[in-house]
Structure 1
C-alpha cells in the first residue's frame, strides 16, 4: 500500500474523530457566540477533511489497478463518514431557535446522531481491517507469483542448457557418422586394391609356372 495514502488516511481519521467530538459538544451548547465559534471551527475542519479526501483519491488513482481498487473501496467509506459529519454540522446551523426544539435535539436527535457516528466508526474500523487483510493477501499472492516466475525462468534456462547439450551431442554424432563413412570408403578402396594385387600376383605366378614348364619341355625334347 502507498505510504503517502496511509499518511493522508491517518490525518483524516484523527480529524474525523476530532470533528465528531466537537459536533457532540456543540450540540449540547445553547445558541450563542460559543456555539457559533464551535460551528465555525467545525466548518474549517470539514474543509480540511475534504482536502484530505481529494488527496487520497488522487493518490489512489495513480497506483496499480489491484491496489487502486482496494483503496477506492476504503475511500468510499471515508466519504460516507464525511457526509455524515456534514449533515450533523448542518443540523447545528439550521436548528429551530426555540428552547423546546433545542432540548429535543439534545435529548433525542444528538443521541441518535452519536449512536450512528459510533456505529459508523465501528464499520469503518472493520472495513479497514478487512482491507488491510486483503492487502496482506495480495502482497502474499504477489510474492508467490514472483517466486513462481523466478522458478519458471530457472526451468527455462535449464531446458535451454539441455537443448544446447543435445545439439552439441548431435553434432558430435554427425561428425562420428562422417568419420565412419570415410573409414568405410578407405577400407573399400583398400579391399579393391588388395583384390587387384592378388590377381596380379596370381598372374605372375601362373606366368612363371608356365615358363618353367616350357623350359623343362625344351630341355627334355633336345635330349
Structure 2
C-alpha cells in the first residue's frame, strides 16, 4: 500500500473522530457557542474533503490491484463524511423553539454517530489488515528477488563451467589431431624401416652369395 495514502488516511480518521465529538457536544450548546462550534466543524469538514481528494488522487495513481482496494475504502470514507455533513445541517437548522424536537432527534443522532464510530473502527481494522498484507507482499517480493539473484548467480557459474568445458574440448581436439599426425609419421617411419630392413637383408644375401661364389671358385678351380 502507498505510504502517502496511509498518511492521509490516518489524518482523516483522526479528524473525523474529532468532528464527531464536536457534533455531539454542539447539540447541547446554544447561541454564540453553538455557532462557533458549528464554524469549527465546517472548517474540519473542508479539511476532510481535501484529504479525501488527496487520497483519491493517490489511489488512482497506483497499480490496479491496490487501486481497487483503496477506492473501495474511499467510498466508505465519503459515506462517513456525508453522515457528518448531514449531522451538521441538522444541528445548524435547530433553534431555541425546536428544543423539544432536538431532544427527540438526539437519540437518532447518537445512533448515527455510533454507526459512524463503528464504521471508522471497521475501516481502521481493514487498514491494519491491508498493512499486514502489504508487509507480507513486500516480504514475498524480497524473497523472490533473492531467489532471482541466486538463479542469476547459478546461471553465471554454469556459463563459466560451459566455457571451461568448451576450452577443454577444443584442447583435447587439438591433442587428438597431434596424436593423429604423430601416428601417421610413426606409420611412415615404420614402413621405411621395414623397407630398409628388406633392402639391407637383400644386400647381405647378395654379399653372402658373392662370397660363397668366390670361395667356390677358389677352392675348386
Partner of 2:10: 10
Q: Could you tell me how far apart the structure 2 residues matched to 1:118 and 1:6 are?
A: 19
Is the 8 Å Cα contact of residues 8 and 55 (structure 1) preserved in structure 2? yes
Q: Could you tell me how far apart the structure 2 residues matched to 1:160 and 1:70 are?
A: 44
Is the 8 Å Cα contact of residues 17 and 117 (structure 2) preserved in structure 1? no
SS in 2 for 1:98: helix
Is the 8 Å Cα contact of residues 5 and 56 (structure 1) preserved in structure 2? yes
Q: Deviations over 1:123-179 (max 9, x none)?
A: 122112211111111111111111211221122122112212221221122122112
Partner of 1:194: 193
Q: TM-score, normalised by structure 2?
A: 0.87
Shift of 1:192: 0.9
Partner of 2:61: 62
Partner of 1:129: 128
Equivalent residue runs for 1:94-133 within 5 Å: 94=93, 98-106=98-106, 108-133=107-132
1:146 aligns with 2:145: yes
1:28/1:105 CA distance change after superposition, 3 Å: farther
Q: Could you tell me how far apart the structure 2 residues matched to 1:73 and 1:156 are?
A: 44
Partner of 2:157: 158
Is the 8 Å Cα contact of residues 13 and 120 (structure 2) preserved in structure 1? no
Q: Could you tell me how far apart the structure 2 residues matched to 1:213 and 1:93 are?
A: 156
Is the 8 Å Cα contact of residues 27 and 92 (structure 1) preserved in structure 2? yes
1:45 aligns with 2:44: yes
Shift of 1:19: 1.0
Q: TM-score, normalised by structure 1?
A: 0.86
Q: Could you tell me how far apart the structure 1 residues matched to 2:79 and 2:141 are?
A: 31
SS in 1 for 2:29: coil
Gaps of 5+ in 1: none
Q: CA RMSD in A?
A: 2.3
Gaps of 5+ in 2: none
Q: Could you tell me how far apart the structure 1 residues matched to 2:131 and 2:86 are?
A: 29
Shift of 1:191: 0.9
Partner of 2:78: 79
Q: Deviations over 1:82-104 (max 9, x none)?
A: 23222322333455863332221
Q: Could you tell me how far apart the structure 1 residues matched to 2:75 and 2:176 are?
A: 75
Partner of 1:219: 218
SS in 2 for 1:57: helix
